[in-house]
Chain A
Amino acid sequence: MEFFATISEQFYKCFIKDDRYKLLLGGIGVTLKVSLVAIVLGIIIGFFIAVCNLSKKKVLRGIGLVYTDVIRGTPSVTQLMLIYFVAFAAVQWDKWIICAIAFGINSGGYVAEVIRAGILSIDKGQTEAGRSLGLNGRQTMTHIILPQAIKNIFPALVNEFIVLIKETAIVGYVGLVDIQKAGDFIKSTTFLAFMPLLATAIIYYVIIKILNIGLKRIEKKLRQSEIR
């Protein structure tokens, strides 16, 4: 009985008192905003870097190589802090936008490799068939290669999105209050660790679960053409 009393008292202290749950709600909004913009940005950057990597032009290949090399070779916390405190130091944008850009740049490096692998996974005969019909390189890429490549790399992209969402938990380093930081605040004001950290974990888990269910449905649709 006493155990339950402690639990409910802790729960009250952590979430109800002083409307502390609002802190977490705000954190969810921040995490979602940052993640969503970063994912979109990451796909766009990733696609262009992948095209660079596969280009015949040495300069473009060089750019692509350096980009993925640097992004994948340095910690994302360091990248975030460099972008926030150095590159955007003089810019008066909302914190979350700068963070989203930082994560988009980071994610782009990984997405680029995934997309590159996806494009390479498509048989050369597909390109030849497209070109032999008179399509130019770009038309062949957009109408023949990419639709098939995206289907192949979908699981890998989903994986990257999941990693990215969880990775945003470091935005507290530049003072942005996301889910993780909100939990931290509650922890330090109440001196209780278990409840806020459990809540943080559950919230991330649920967000990713929902994302997973949604993306599984899309994947099923993409695979329709494989039904014999």
Chain B
Amino acid sequence: MIKIYNLKKNFNDLEVLKGVSEHIRPGEVVSVIGPSGSGKSTFLRCINLLEEVTEGEIYVDEELITAPGVDINLIRQKMGMVFQQFNLFPHLKIIDNITLAPVLLKKMTKEEAKAKALELLARVGLSDKADSYPASLSGGQKQRVAIARALAMNPEIMLFDEPTSALDPEMVGEVLDVIKSLAESGMTMVVVTHEMGFAREVSSRVLFMDQGIIMESGTPAEIFDNPQNERTKLFLSKVL
């Protein structure tokens, strides 16, 4: 589904990704863990080209999206993204936050989009918030809306960039529950996270990133119970 070959990303003189290759298959739930500054978020943001790729190739559904002239807006419609800071549109009601893109991009009529939005809001447990503005929601509620907003485009892949890092501790659970149920429904997902419990429980595969490369990759059991790489061991000893 997503194939990444030798991905490199520099910010001016700083090498953030130093050659990452990875293959994400349909239905996989891949958690990306690692210390701050290891390049996890940059890696995720390169997948939908929110960051310009310095070098390397990314294929989505066999299409080379790093090639010049590719309509990136079309590619992005296949990939939902959820941000650490939610990034809801504060000037729009919750329902309009969700329907904006599908209607604007002519994927659905207004009525279809609205029906879909209400269905998604029910799914994330926020049916009563349709006509509220984001300012009146808690962090956890905002993030659940953000997930619904991304799902409204019927994406094939969902990308999560530290979805619970900006939340108060008591709200982490409600957001993780939504992500978990999404994983169980068979959605392909890449989740950058600091929630080790979540990574272990939900993911089919875990990537440990450090110093701009994928140091180790394996099933949750392999990574958490029997890490091979010294860096992985050191990192896990600090966070577990």
Q: Which residues of A contact B (CB under 8 A)?
A: 123, 125-126, 128-136, 139, 143-144, 147-148, 151, 224-228
Number of interface residues of B (CB under 8 A): 30
Contact of A129 among B83, B105, B133 (CB under 8 A): B83
Does chain A have a CB within 8 A of B200?
no
- 12 A-B residue contacts at CB 8 Å? A126-B89, A128-B83, A131-B73, A132-B79, A133-B77, A133-B100, A133-B153, A134-B74, A135-B104, A225-B92, A225-B135, A228-B135
Given contacts A139-B104, A148-B91, contact A132 B135 (CB under 8 A): no
Does chain A have a CB within 8 A of B7?
no
Give A125 to B81 CA distance when docked, in angstroms.
12
Complex: chain B residue closest to A132, CB-CB: B81
Q: Which residues of B contact A (CB under 8 A)?
A: 48, 50, 73-74, 76-77, 79-81, 83, 85, 87-93, 100-101, 104-105, 133-136, 146, 149-150, 153
Give A130 to B146 CA distance when docked, in angstroms.
12
Check A134 against B133 for contact (C-beta < 8 Å): no
Check B135 against A226 for contact (C-beta < 8 Å): yes
Check A134 against B91 for contact (C-beta < 8 Å): no
Give A130 to B50 CA distance when docked, in angstroms.
11
State how many angstroms separate the Cβ of B192 from the closest Cβ of chain A: 14
B90 contacts across to A, CB distance below 8 A: 148, 225-226
B136 contacts across to A, CB distance below 8 A: 227-228
Give A139 to B73 CA distance when docked, in angstroms.
11
Contact of A133 among B91, B133, B149 (CB under 8 A): B149
B105 contacts across to A, CB distance below 8 A: 133-135
A125 contacts across to B, CB distance below 8 A: 83, 85, 87
Complex: chain A residue closest to B104, CB-CB: A139
Complex: chain B residue closest to A136, CB-CB: B73
A130 contacts across to B, CB distance below 8 A: 89, 101
19 other A-B residue contacts (CB within 8 Å) besides A132-B76, A147-B91: A128-B83, A128-B87, A129-B81, A130-B101, A133-B101, A133-B149, A133-B150, A134-B101, A135-B73, A143-B100, A148-B91, A224-B133, A225-B91, A225-B92, A225-B133, A225-B134, A226-B133, A226-B135, A228-B135
